Amino acid sequence: MATNTAAPPESTAAPASSGDVGGPRPDGHGRARRQRRGWLAWLWLVLGVVYTPVLVVMVLSFNASRYGTLPFAFTAEWYVALAGNDALISATGRSLVLSTSVAAVAAALGTALALWMVRFARSGATLFTALLTTAITIPWLILAVAMLLVANAVGVGRGLPLLFLGSLAVAMPYVVLVVVARLQGLGTELEQAARSLGARPLTAFRLVTLPLIGKSVLSGTLLAFIITFNNFPIHFFLAPFGFNTLPMEIYTFVLSGYDPDINALATVLISVAVGLGLVLLAVARRRGGDATATSRLQEMWG
Amino acid sequence: MADLRLDEVWMSYSPEGPPVLRGLSIDVADGEFYAMVGPSGSGKTSILKVLGGFVAPDAGRVVLDGSDVSGVPPERRDLGIVFQSYALFPHLTVGENVGFGLRMRRVRAREQRAEVTRLLALVGLPEMEARYPDELSGGQQQRVALARALVTRPKALLLDEPLSALDRKIRQEMQVELRRIQREAGVTAIIVTHDQEEALALGDRLMVLDAGEVRQEGRPAEVYSHPRSRFVATFLGSANLLPATVDAVEPSRIDLGGLPAHGLILPEGSRTGDRVTVCVRPERWRLAGDDGAAPDGLALRATVRSVQLSGQVGECRLDSELGELALTVLSSQVARLEEGVEVSLHAAPDDVHVLEEPAAEPTEATEATAPAGSRP
């Protein structure tokens, strides 16, 4: 099986490296070419470690065998089973609602906080940035246990408010840090220019600052969404009993025996994520004259 | 269009911090081009921030068009500002950038378009509306920034080092353009710069700023040829600074370490025995023999040590009994000044300035520091 799916990275590597076959070159380039090959191999190895299992899962979701054995026989029965698996579907719904609401609040509050830090807390900004950076390095498991301890001590206990608050506390620093970095790069002159031309503070923000930090806000929000969606330790310790998020549900399933409809669910989720990413890139590119969006695309596919 | 005044303005960025502006007063007349020049850290940009309304002064008044605007926010001051970085909105086209001020004033779209076209023609960038700022050269961005600042017919135009990011050649071209546009728009303009050449070339009036205080103010030619302090003498152009003592007041006689100078104008209130500094611009020396011996002024003999030709002028270093001297001559005269040649130098009384401050150290007698901007 492993050899089967290891093939795609290699086969896609071929056209990439064939790009530098441009006729004879002076000797000095030989070393550079060997180095280039070495780095490419390393890159594909890393990508392979991430994508091979994903591809295996996707292939298996269409395989008739319950235990992932060969030969491969196509079936859609696991998707049918998934459609009937209420536990997984409702867990997915809970996860989506939780992640969306946390991401939305993190986006609004995080952006506001970032603005305040850069514009008004000038000397404090460094300290706050350091504290937030430290906060995101704390292991989530430890954070979750500690939060539950404190919540129990003050008599709040597990529950939706605690789950929401805990998720927000983990996700918001990402929004803040991403937006702060962008705002610091932007400086204050653009906003001052808008003000001097007659824009009131809010108008200046809406017409000048927001469009320019929009992409950072969006990437911070997506980060917050993904982190909240994935945050098993926080869900596990802070969610009220009976409120199983998707990671918790999958964990339960795996404990009790692994059904291929989880493969089917994984395939659906990955497809949605990839599709969403492509749509976002396409939107970013279509806003003509947007050099950064196109160059980011080129970085990815160039 | 309006006059603009700062009255005894004090400003510091933090309550404990040192004041950046120390009781600064300026008075700019309607339609005037006023240049403020000073080294970095002298408070130039802070003055613009106070004028623009981005920073409130700790004390003093800002008067625009006859009324105190001290508490008025930037968007209601009606000033056009050209920022050092131009601050063009990168996500808007040139047309949208220039039209921004009109859009804020809810001018009708048709009029907006007409005005934008008119302004872009004024700054010499017709038919650029649809471009984005990052598709323009530095000089073009500068012109767009200027058009954007002028489109609302502001009461005054503030320019913050507007040419510092441009190449020397384009900079000189833009200096001429800036003057033309300012004249045509008939707008009061204030420019801050660290570049003495720019200030001398652009301003109707010039103010030399140092450490948040006005050091000297006047017409550029006057300030340049009659500096009243060591700082102004060396910051605007270069100068020979020589230590001296006042020997007699009426008629004046000054002793430069044994060498007398007659007929100079002394600072007010000078008394016999005062230690002073004598300042001579390097290009104001005349090679004696040109018009025979002159009774007044400063005359001495010196030996050429080195000659450096830089285009139209030659810059010479000479050794004299007063120490090292700087002499600038037109390149046509350089041939006479070979190394080791002894020459007689003379400076007319009007070209020798007696500054109140004593020279800091005798060894520092000669100073000929040309600011970086003055070299090609």
pLDDT tens-digit profile of A45-62? Answer: 999 998 898 888 888 888
Per-residue confidence (pLDDT) for residue A16, from 0 to 100: 42
Give the model confidence (pLDDT) of A81-112 as tens digits.
888 888 888 888 999 999 999 999 999 999 99
Residues of chain B with C-beta less than 8 angstroms from the C-beta of A190: 87, 89
Which residues contact residue B369 at a Cβ distance below 8 angstroms, ignoring those fewer than 6 apart?
B234, B238
Nearest to A273 by CA among A223, A233, A235: A223
Centre a 10 Å sphere on the Cβ of residue B155 and count the other Cβ atoms it contains. Answer: 19
Nearest to B206 by CA among B32, B31, B37, B340: B37
Decide if B89 and A197 are in contact by the 8 Å CB cutoff: no
ipTM: 0.79
- Sorting pLDDT into bands at 50, 70 and 90, what band is A24? low
Stronger pLDDT, B230 or A17, i.e. the higher one: B230
Per-residue confidence (pLDDT) for residue A165, from 0 to 100: 92
How is residue B182 written in tokens? 């300012």
Per-residue confidence (pLDDT) for residue B92, from 0 to 100: 93
Decide if A195 and B74 are in contact by the 8 Å CB cutoff: yes
Decide if B89 and A208 are in contact by the 8 Å CB cutoff: yes
Residues of chain B with C-beta less than 8 angstroms from the C-beta of A294: none
CB-CB contact of B276 with B265 (8 Å): no
Minimal CA separation from B17 to chain A, in Å: 14
- Sorting pLDDT into bands at 50, 70 and 90, what band is A28? low
Residues of chain A with C-beta less than 8 angstroms from the C-beta of B134: 291
Decide if A189 and B87 are in contact by the 8 Å CB cutoff: yes
B99 touching A, CB under 8 A? no
Per-residue confidence (pLDDT) for residue B189, from 0 to 100: 93
Decide if B83 and A203 are in contact by the 8 Å CB cutoff: no
Q: Render each residue's pLDDT in chain B as its tens digit; 376 residues.
A: 578 888 888 988 877 788 888 888 989 999 999 999 988 888 888 898 999 999 888 888 999 888 888 889 999 999 999 998 899 999 999 999 999 999 999 999 999 999 999 989 888 888 888 999 999 988 899 889 999 999 998 989 999 988 887 788 888 888 888 888 888 888 899 999 988 888 888 889 999 998 888 889 999 999 998 888 888 988 888 888 888 888 888 788 888 887 888 888 888 878 888 888 889 999 888 887 655 555 678 888 889 998 888 888 888 999 988 888 899 988 888 888 888 888 888 888 888 888 887 765 544 434 444 343 333 3
Which H, E and C letters describe A179-230, residue by residue? HHHHHHHHCCHHHHHHHHCCCCHHHHHHHHHHHHHHHHHHHHHHHHHHHHHH
Q: Which of B14, B16, B81 to mutate to test the interface with A (most CBs of A within 10 A)?
A: B81
B16 touching A, CB under 8 A? no
Spell out which chain A residues touch chain B, with contact meaning CB-CB distance below 8 angstroms. Answer: 187, 189-190, 192-200, 203-204, 207-208, 211-212, 289-291
B80 touching A, CB under 8 A? yes
Per-residue confidence (pLDDT) for residue A257, from 0 to 100: 73
Q: How far apart are CA B297 and CA B266, in angstroms?
A: 12
Stronger pLDDT, B93 or A123, i.e. the higher one: B93
Mean pLDDT computed over every residue of chain A = 80
Nearest to B237 by CA among B375, B366, B364: B375
Per-residue confidence (pLDDT) for residue B295, from 0 to 100: 66
Give the model confidence (pLDDT) of A160-193 as tens digits.
989 999 999 999 999 999 999 899 888 888 999 9
Verdict on whether the full-model pTM lies above 0.90: no
Q: Which of A196, A202, A210 to mutate to test the interface with B (most CBs of B within 10 A)?
A: A196
- Sorting pLDDT into bands at 50, 70 and 90, what band is A207? very high
Which H, E and C letters describe chain B, residue by residue? CCCEEEEEEEECCCCCCCCCEEEEEEEECCCCEEEEECCCCCCHHHHHHHHHCCCCCCEEEEEECCEECCCCCHHHCCEEEECCCCCCCCCCCHHHHHHHHHHHCCCCHHHHHHHHHHHHHHCCCCCCCCCCHHHCCHHHHHHHHHHHHHCCCCCEEEEECCCCCCCHHHHHHHHHHHHHHHHHHCCEEEEEECCHHHHHHHCCEEEEEECCEEEEEECHHHHHHCCCCHHHHHHCCCCEEEEEEEEECCCCEEEECCEEEECCCCCCCCCCCCEEEEEECHHHCEECCCCCCCCCEEEEEEEEEEEEEECCEEEEEEEECCEEEEEEEEHHHHHHCCCCCEEEEEECHHHEEEECCCCCCHHHCCCCCCCHHHCC
Instruction: Name the residue facing B104 among A192, A198, A290 (closest C-beta).
Output: A198
Give the model confidence (pLDDT) of A244-298 as tens digits.
898 898 888 888 777 777 888 888 888 888 887 888 777 666 554 444 444 443 4
